[in-house]
Amino acid sequence: MSFTLTSPVTGGAQTGFTTPGYNIVSDTAPMNTGKQYAVSSLVGTQTGVDVSSSPSRPFTITLSRPPVLRTLGVVDPVTGVLKQVPFNVYNIRVRKGVTPLAGQAPRIAYINVDIGVPAGADAADLANIRAMASLAVGALNQASASIGDTLGTGVI
């Protein structure tokens, strides 16, 4: 699997954070078709933020691929059209233990991103798949502070 992060990971801008970054260590993914990293220490000023310290307060990022990569189906011999185009769905998941109310047990917040790629497109149209990934990552990076603000205020 090509997904590899190097430490530290530069964080996206967030209101109230100064130069956020995350030192990571390799962790055990919950599935054998994934890679996982745990945040071991913080970079910059992130008052109130903790690292991955226990199962109830994780701070991890996981990338997984389908257990079996699907391939193109059969082309209808009469119409020349594919009968079925299955998808390979990759997943990126960030988990963070958070406190819902002072004095209460932590709960796990998460960000879950699914990336669906039609079988065959990886070979026939990789440039456009890369463009899709580029826009998604760029937009999330550009909107990082706005996303954090929205998660706190509920206002889009």
Residue by residue, pLDDT tens for the chain (156 residues) are 477 899 999 999 999 999 999 999 999 999 999 999 999 999 999 999 999 988 999 999 999 999 999 999 888 899 989 988 999 999 999 999 999 999 999 999 999 999 999 999 999 999 889 989 998 998 899 999 999 999 899 898
- Is-above-0.85 flag for pTM? yes
**Dist. CA 8–CA 43, nearest whole Å:** 8
Tell me how crowded residue 34 is: count the other CB atoms within 10 A of its CB: 19
Query: By C-alpha distance, which of 49, 57, 40, 53 is closest to 20?
Result: 49
**Dist. CA 26–CA 63, nearest whole Å:** 12
3.30.110, 3.90.1200, 1.10.3470, 3.30.380: which CATH number matches 9-153? 3.30.380
Domain ranges of the chain: 9-153
φ and ψ at residue 67, rounded to 5 degrees: -60, -35
